[in-house]
Amino acid sequence: MSDIVQSLEGLLERLHIDVGLRPILSLVILLAAVFAVICAALWGAVRARWISRNTAAFWIFVSPWIVGFLLFTGGPMVYSLVLSFTNWNLIDPAKFIGIANYKEALSDPDLGQAIKVTLTYAVVSVPLQTVLSLAVALLMNVKVRGIHVFRTIWYLPSLVTGVAQAVLFIWVFNPSYGLANGLLRLFGIEGPKWLFDAHWALATVVIMSLWTVGGNMIIYLAGLQDISKDLYEAAELDGANRWRLLWNITIPQVSPVIFFNVVTGLIYAMQTFTQGYVVTHNGGGPADSLLFYVLYLYQNAFSFFRMGYASALAWIFFVMIMVLTALVFRGSAFWVYYESQRPRERRRRVHVG
């Protein structure tokens, strides 16, 4: 493959194409060739009456995604599955070692710590984010003058994420000079060491995660504004108070949105990496208190040169997330309300399995 790319770049050089454009043009030529082959094959299939023109059109339109998936997701996944059965340091050729990596994972104490940290973070942060972002969305759904300004203010922090957010909070939670302990000192309280205390580090990262509730708030806000006003009016005529309206109308109506946010939030929380990486590189997260699963995977792959073991960890992690997501999906039958479903279908969802 690299030979083909190099040759294409050589061809473009002979055509006096600018050096900076050669890699991208090589990729474009390669993709064009792949699509030309796909189109030619489909055209042949239509001519031979194996498939209809509509079917061919479907495959042509869906082929960019399929090619992208196979090249950049499916292919690497299969490759990593193969690697998980090898011992590979990225420098020497990989050696097949069967299921030794998976066996090692079963007795790896650091992996146990990584799972503990990651699950604790996910289990604590996701419900907190859900409740807070829904509460803020309810507040921001009130029709008062200047509400758009408040919505903007709540959403703005979501623009500062990743490394920038982690660095910002390292300063906010600096035990000696940070804003958090500075405020506590005003009340005569000597604050904890936050990210630099093994017992507080994870809790601090959970607090950091609430910084970005504005993103979920927007989604909830859209869901809340989609609820029919007729429902509220009917309930009020029946004498429902605000609590009743929230519990019996708002929450059920917005439950599909909550479900979406919980599922995506759970997967996102399980994949937490940046906070652990940045904080530990700045002297925080003692005693592996911020050893998130993906950080441990990264360490094995790129610090300890154990790509085979890291690949096995990736697949174990994949299965873990699949199981957790499946559990959330299964559990959703008990609390997610879909207006389009009839009562009988809803009962079936709950009792199936």
Partner 1 sequence: MQGKALAAVAAASFLALAACSSEPSGGSTGTGTGTGTGTGTTKITYAFWGNNDESATIKSMIAAFEKANPGVKVEANWIQSDYEQKLQTSIAGGDAPTVAQISNTSLPSFANAFTPVKVDPGVYYSAAVAKAGNVGGTDYAVPFVAKSKVMAINKAAFDSAGVAAPSGSAPISTQDFVSAAKRLTSGSGAKKVYGSAPLWYDGWLIAEGGSYYGPDGQTCTMGNADGIRAAQTVVDSTKPDGFAPNPTDAQGQDMFQWFTDGKVAMLPDFGPWNIAKIAALDTSKFLIVPMPGKGEPMEVDSLGISKSATEAERTAATTFTKFMSTSPDAQNLLATTTSALGVPVIQGSLDTFKAIAPKVNLQAFVDAVTNAVTTPYVKDKVKIESTFSTDLNSRTAIGSGNEDPATVLPELQAQCQKMLDATK
Residue 261 found at the interface with partner 1 (CB under 8 A): no
86 DSSP 8-state letter = E
Q: Which helix (H) or strand (E) holds 71?
A: none
Does 11 bind partner 1 (CB under 8 A)? Our answer is yes
Cross-strand bridge partners of residue 86: 96
Contact stretch for partner 1 (CB under 8 A) within 66-74, 128-136, 202-210, 305-313:
305-313
Helix (H) or strand (E) holding 95: strand 95-96
Instruction: Answer yes or no whether residue 147 interacts with partner 1 by CB under 8 A.
Output: no
Site for partner 1 in 165-204 (CB under 8 A): 170-171, 174-177, 193, 196-198
83-112 binders of partner 1 (CB under 8 A) = 89-92
Q: Which is nearer to partner 1, 125 or 300 (CB)?
A: 300
Quote the radius of gyration of the chain (alpha carbons, Å). 26
Residue type for position 321: I
Provide, rounded to whole angstroms, the least separation between the CB of residue 299 and partner 1.
Answer: 7
**Site string (30-69) toward partner 1, x via CB under 8 A:** x-xx--xx-xx--x---x----------------------
What would the 3-class secondary structure string for 208-224 be?
A: HHHHHHHHHHHHHHHHH
Give 37 or 70: the residue with its C-beta nearer to partner 1: 37
Binding mask 15-34 for partner 1 (x = CB under 8 A): --------------xx-xx-
Q: 168 or 333, CB closer to partner 1?
A: 168
Closer CB to partner 1, 34 or 326, in the complex: 34
Give min distance, CB of 267 to partner 1, in A: 25
Q: Give whole-number Cα distances, 51 to 44, 45, 59, in Å.
A: 9, 6, 11
Interface positions, 269-288, toward partner 1 (CB under 8 A): 282-284, 286-288
- The residue among 177 and 187 lying less far from partner 1, judged by its C-beta, is 177
The Cα 12–Cα 22 span in angstroms is 6
Buried b / exposed e along 264-280 (16+ C-beta atoms within 10 A)? ebbbebbebebbbbbbb
Q: What DSSP line would sit under 289-337, residue for residue?
A: TT--HHHHHHIIIIIS--HHHHHHHHHHHHHHHHHHHHHHHHHHTTT--
Secondary structure (3-state) at 87: strand
Task: Point out which residues bind partner 1 (CB under 8 A).
Answer: 2-4, 6-11, 29-30, 32-33, 36-37, 39-40, 43, 47, 89-92, 170-171, 174-177, 193, 196-198, 282-284, 286-288, 299, 302-307
